[in-house]
Amino acid sequence: MLIRQSGDVPASEITPREIYRERRRFMQGMGALAAGALLGSAADAQAGARLTGVRASPYTLNEEKTPYRDVTTYNNFYEFGTGKSDPSENAGSLKTRPWTVAIEGEVGRPGTYDIDTLLKLAPLEERVYRMRCVEGWSMVIPWIGFPLSQLIRRAAPTGNARYVEFVTLDDPGQMPGQRSHVLDWPYVEGLRMDEAMHPLTILAVGLYGEVLPNQNGAPIRLVVPWKYGFKSAKSLVRIRFVEKQPLTTWMRAAPREYGFYSNVNPHVDHPRWSQAKERRIGEFFKRDTLMFNGYGAQVAQLYRGMDLQRYF
């Protein structure tokens, strides 16, 4: 698809619930995430604990949410296995506290931040987003997080920072899926700077009003709702500001199938299947895939003049 507007193409080339949750907490024994005003007592700061002080956001959808159970048991998180149920079954080994995220590269204020410090950068918001997997299924998830732009402004990028690279935890002892060679670890993703600064792009620390479960990318993950889900890197440990376009994990693994931009686009098929339709988890019939996952009014201007079949 070609958006024919002015602009230049970049030089470098998205059982009852309560019983289930109690069982899952026991099985996984997830660690604490954040303390103080953001959570209840520190002893309750684990998956399933309520996040407090969360405000409503104008960047949200009034759509039926995918059930909590589906959101937390049907996942792609290859660090814990390639099956959809593997993350929820295997992620209990991940220790999410203590946890730090390093800010590196072309920035005026590099540093390493404890998760508690990151959570104080901006008020937490609930944002209900459509999420579309490249495999053809989708969900509607109520995330809790804050705009990535808040962290970017604090880091003070230099004029050389054109892209943001995201690196996730590389620890086979905690992530049994990394003992396989299905991908080249650690998992790496990237955004162009204007994509990273867009108000829809968030760092999520929870869902459904609760601390983010391990299998969903605890304790902190990227969420970019107009791109296929693999762009939203999980369990982040490093955010780097760079001049050149990062070589992301899936681009390295299968460059013909996965491009850097990875915008949801019904007109650009995956080499092995169509992207024109999707199946919302919990629904029987498929529905039409929306350009930019339905966020075109907000993000189409980022890609003016770009041939989106070439820059897929």
Quick one: the chain helix, strand, coil %, rounded to 5? 25, 25, 50
CB 167 within 8 A of CB 94: no
User: Is the confidence at residue 177, as pLDDT, over 90?
Assistant: yes
The confidence score (pLDDT) of residue 46 equals 67
- Give the C-alpha separation, 143 to 147, whole Å: 12
Q: Where are the alpha helices (DSSP H) in 172-213?
A: 193-197
Nearest to 226 by CA among 256, 181, 183, 192: 192
Q: Give the domains, in start order, of the chain with CATH numbers.
A: 17-303 (3.90.420.10)
Task: Return mean pLDDT, the chain.
Answer: 88
Average pLDDT over residues 112-139: 95
Lowest mean pLDDT among 12-21, 190-199, 233-242: 12-21
Average pLDDT over residues 5-11: 40
**Radius of gyration of the chain from its Cα atoms, rounded to whole angstroms:** 18
**Residue 24 pLDDT grade (very low, low, confident, very high; cuts 50, 70, 90):** very low
- The pair of structure tokens assigned to 231 is 């762009």
Average pLDDT over residues 95-101: 97
The confidence score (pLDDT) of residue 142 equals 98
Q: State which H helix or E strand residue 299 sits in.
A: helix 296-299
The confidence score (pLDDT) of residue 119 equals 87
Q: How far is CA 255 from the centre of its chain?
A: 21
Span 129-170, pLDDT tens digits: 999 999 999 999 999 999 999 999 999 999 999 999 999 999
Stated pTM of the model: 0.86
Span 248-284, pLDDT tens digits: 999 999 999 999 999 999 999 999 999 999 999 999 9
Percent of the chain surpassing pLDDT 70: 85
- The pair of structure tokens assigned to 201 is 């792009």
Using CA atoms, how far residue 24 sits from 15, 31, 66, 95, in Å, is: 12, 13, 18, 15
